[in-house]
């Protein structure tokens, strides 16, 4: 390995199915390695030579699919994509059988699923790492890219505040859990009845108690945004909940991120969104196209954060 490489620390857990499969130290190491990869990508061009990823996707994807495929190639490896939008993983044959086929051929399984249970089934039977590329419960790779985007702007994330305004979905879960691991305060604001899972909130708060992070749940988006360095939102209706679209538009009408809400945040605050965005619903066009918007930095950083994660899983 070249002397110009940042140190690649192995991950203790064999799988990354949920944000807390990474320890707080490992989470910070992913971000620092991601920064090094972004600065000098050619220094890492052979780290995963001869390594191959299987990609099983039940849901549509632009950023996740492209950045994982490209990331494996840029590290010297390769990826094979298998589309499961028509037949869910485990329908045609049991997930445990799929895992025990794939682990004979591949070094890592990257899965994007509706159910967290599907990921758990794959991981239980796979002898190679399984990575959550989005499930109905968590989106850890997105959160790593999000906090990498903040890390580029702040030398120390501990003690900073991020406001998450919107639905208590998979992205909200991961923003809270990864924020707690990094010592970042997260103010989560949503309409009553659309809170994140109580068990996830409790876990984030317990983790935050060890890192100095405060994870707060509230209904007032203005209170959440006060002094935040990042104001984050996502679509009001996640994949699989389309039947609730109209009622969610009504429930979330006061939770749009607009210029008035951004004005309450810190002077150097950025607007954050995992994309795709519905402009005019959860965010105004004015905000997403403003100089404060970091949404395309987040999208780019999916590549760098995931390359760091893959190296820490496979480069041992």
Task: Please determine, for residue 240, whether its predicted confidence score (pLDDT) is greater than 80.
Answer: no
The tokens for 268 are 């150097």
Domain contains 244: yes
- Specify whether 120 is located in the same domain as 150: no
Entry pTM: 0.96
- Specify whether 191 is located in the same domain as 221: yes
Round the CA-based radius of gyration of the chain to a whole number and report it: 19
Q: What is the pLDDT of residue 87?
A: 86
- Specify whether 172 is located in the same domain as 287: yes
pLDDT range class, residue 2, cuts 50, 70, 90: very low
Domain contains 125: yes
- Specify whether 88 is located in the same domain as 164: no
Does 112 qualify as catalytic in the annotation?
yes
Domain contains 82: yes
Domain contains 274: yes
pLDDT range class, residue 280, cuts 50, 70, 90: very high
Q: Which member of 74, 142, 256, 306 is catalytic?
A: 142
- Specify whether 127 is located in the same domain as 38: yes
Q: Which member of 9, 28, 65, 112 is catalytic?
A: 112
Domain count, the chain: 2
Does 273 qualify as catalytic in the annotation?
no
pLDDT range class, residue 5, cuts 50, 70, 90: low
Q: What is the pLDDT of residue 3?
A: 39
Q: Which residues contact 25 (CB under 8 A, 6 or more apart)?
A: none
The tokens for 275 are 């994309």
Q: Which residue has the higher pLDDT, 99 or 6?
A: 99
pLDDT range class, residue 316, cuts 50, 70, 90: low
Does 49 qualify as catalytic in the annotation?
no
Domain contains 3: no
Taking alpha carbons only, the member of 139, 161, 286 closest to residue 232 is 161
Does 142 qualify as catalytic in the annotation?
yes
- Specify whether 181 is located in the same domain as 122: no
Task: Over range 48-77, report the average pLDDT.
Answer: 97
Does 302 qualify as catalytic in the annotation?
yes
- Specify whether 206 is located in the same domain as 111: no
- Specify whether 148 is located in the same domain as 127: no
Q: What is the pLDDT of residue 4?
A: 46
Domain contains 8: no
Rounded distance between C-alpha atoms, residue 141 and residue 63, angstroms: 11
Q: What is the pLDDT of residue 85?
A: 84
Domain contains 2: no
- Specify whether 305 is located in the same domain as 291: no
Strand order across the beta sheet in which 52-57 lies: 78-83, 52-57, 108-112, 130-132
- Specify whether 133 is located in the same domain as 157: no
- Specify whether 147 is located in the same domain as 126: no
Taking alpha carbons only, the member of 215, 129, 123 closest to residue 178 is 215
The pLDDT mean for the chain works out to 96
Q: What is the pLDDT of residue 1?
A: 40
Q: Which member of 28, 63, 139, 151 is catalytic?
A: 139
Going 259 to 273 to 293 to 145, the CA torsion angle's sign is: positive
Q: Which member of 84, 273, 302, 304 is catalytic?
A: 302
Q: What is the pLDDT of residues 170-198, one digit of tens each?
A: 999 999 999 999 999 999 999 999 999 99
Chain centroid offset of residue 292 CA: 20
- List the CATH number of the domain containing 211: 3.40.50.1370
Query: Residue 69 sits in which domain range?
Result: 19-138+301-314
Q: Which member of 21, 107, 146, 234 is catalytic?
A: 234
pLDDT range class, residue 250, cuts 50, 70, 90: very high
Domain contains 117: yes
In the chain, the DSSP E strands lie at: 52-57, 78-83, 108-112, 130-132, 161-165, 185-189, 215-218, 230-233, 270-273
- Specify whether 168 is located in the same domain as 288: yes
* Cβ-based neighbour number of residue 56 at 10 Å: 25
């Amino acid at each position: 390995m070249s002397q110009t490489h940042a140190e690649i620390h192995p991950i203790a857990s064999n799988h990354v199915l949920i944000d807390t499969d990474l320890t707080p130290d490992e989470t910070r190491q992913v971000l620092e390695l991601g920064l090094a990869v972004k600065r000098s990508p050619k220094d890492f061009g052979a780290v995963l030579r001869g390594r191959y990823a299987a990609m099983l996707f039940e849901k549509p994807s632009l950023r996740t699919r492209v950045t994982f495929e490209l990331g494996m190639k840029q590290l010297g490896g390769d990826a094979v994509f298998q589309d499961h939008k028509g037949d869910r993983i485990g329908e045609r044959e049991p997930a445990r059988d799929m895992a025990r086929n794939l682990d004979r051929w591949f070094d890592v399984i990257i899965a994007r699923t509706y159910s967290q249970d599907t990921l758990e089934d794959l991981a239980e039977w796979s002898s190679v790492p399984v990575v959550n590329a989005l499930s109905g419960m968590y989106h850890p790779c997105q959160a790593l890219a999000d906090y990498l985007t903040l890390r580029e702007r702040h030398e120390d994330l501990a003690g900073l505040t991020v406001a998450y305004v919107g639905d208590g979905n998979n992205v909200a879960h991961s923003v809270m859990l990864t924020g707690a691991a990094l010592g970042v305060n997260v103010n989560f604001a949503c309409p009553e009845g659309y809170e994140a899972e109580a068990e996830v909130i409790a876990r984030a708060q317990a983790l935050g108690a060890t890192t100095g992070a405060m994870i707060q749940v509230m209904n007032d988006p203005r209170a959440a945004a006060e002094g935040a360095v990042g104001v984050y939102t996502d679509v009001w209706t996640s994949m699989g909940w389309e039947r609730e679209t109209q009622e969610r538009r009504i429930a979330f009408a006061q939770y749009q991120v607009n210029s008035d809400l951004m004005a309450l945040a810190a002077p150097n605050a950025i607007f954050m969104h995992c994309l795709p965005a519905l402009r005019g619903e959860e965010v105004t066009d004015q905000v997403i196209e403003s100089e404060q918007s970091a949404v395309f930095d987040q999208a780019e950083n999916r590549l760098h954060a995931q390359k760091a994660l893959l190296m820490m899983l496979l480069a041992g």
